[in-house]
Amino acid sequence: MSTEDARLRTLLRAFRDDAFAQWLLPERSHRHHVYREWFTMVLAHAETVGQVITGPDESAVQVWLPGRTGPPAMLDDLATERLLELAGPRVDRFHAFGSLSTERHPHEPHQYLALIGVDPTVQGTGIGTRELGETLGRWDADGLPSYLEASSARSRKLYQRLGFRDLGAPITLPHNGPDLYPMWRDPGA
């Protein structure tokens, strides 16, 4: 299996049934199809404009994008069009998420953790925390702050232990969606 395939597999397994994924695309078969193409496009885009970071066994995948003057795009324009086409009847949820997260995204230079996924077979073992901590150490050495949107209260607590702090109130998604927690980390926090 190629590196790209292992990374894609990890992301698909990590996000298969989380609350945000279920809100965004409630129908599981549609979600799996859309996420396969979406994550393939995100990985390709991040390889050219940001960084995809994995550990040796690729059971944790981090997708980082540079935020220079605001929210970086997770996809180029052509891939964004393809994603919205794939979303079909749920395109309104993609638009709502994009609009709400863009409104809250900081404008000062930072590294944006667009995605982090840990294979469910090793979740809770500390692999994701350790690998994320190593990456944050790199950003600290470069004097770069970090930003992310935590997708659950549980992940929010993990990020707080790594030095992130809340950046304003949670983002409340429409249609009974889960709250997302914008979080900021100063270098060396």
Domain ranges of the chain: 3-185
> Can you give the pLDDT at residue 62?
98
Residue 80 CA to residue 122 CA, distance in Å, equals: 31
Residue 104 predicted with pLDDT over 90: yes
> Can you give the pLDDT at residue 70?
81
Q: Which of 112, 115, 96 is nearest to 38 (CA)?
A: 115
pTM attached to this predicted model: 0.94
SS (H, E, C) 157-169: HHHHHCCCEECCC
Residue 165 predicted with pLDDT over 80: yes
- Percentage of the residues of the chain whose pLDDT score is greater than 90: 93
> Can you give the pLDDT at residue 1?
42
> Can you give the pLDDT at residue 69?
84
Structurally, what CATH architecture does the domain formed by 3-185 represent? 3-Layer(aba) Sandwich (3.40)
